[in-house]
Amino acid sequence: MPSDLEKAMESMIMVFHKYASKDGNRDTLSRRELKDLMENELAGFLKSQKDPATVDRIMRDLDTNGDGQVSFEEFVSLVVGLSIACEQCYKAHLLKTGARK
């Protein structure tokens, strides 16, 4: 039986490929695919962003090789960055509530 972490990794892979397969190239996300993914899978994050160009900025930041597409490896950096930010919020919440580790 897979562990929680193994299930999380599988879920990340499945979500990436669910959206990457929409525009033809199953190995990368186009801007439209990334936008769809973020609107459906990261809706809370996207709602908190006031700038309508958020997806364009994220696309630019993720596309490290400049090919106009986001590979799985580039996508993982988005997930890692958001996870780090969420973990920092979690730690701040623990401090604020006086919860112990």
Mean pLDDT, the chain, whole residue set: 87
Res 55 pLDDT > 90: no
DSSP of 63-74, one letter per residue?
-TT-SSSEEHHH
Q: How confident is the model at residue 88 (pLDDT cuts 50, 70, 90)?
A: confident
3-state secondary structure of 92: helix
Beta-carbon contacts of residue 48 (< 8 Å; ≥ 6 apart): none
**Ramachandran region of residue 10, left (φ > 0), alpha (ψ -120 to 50) or beta?**
alpha
Beta-carbon contacts of residue 94 (< 8 Å; ≥ 6 apart): 101
The conformation of residue 3, written as its DSSP 8-state character, comes to: -
**CA distance linking residue 101 with residue 94, whole number of Å:** 8
pLDDT of residue 9: 95
Domain locations in the chain as residue ranges:
4-97
Hey, what are 24's tokens? 């033809």
CATH topology of domain 4-97: Recoverin; domain 1 (1.10.238)
The pTM of this model reads 0.80
Res 101 pLDDT > 60: no
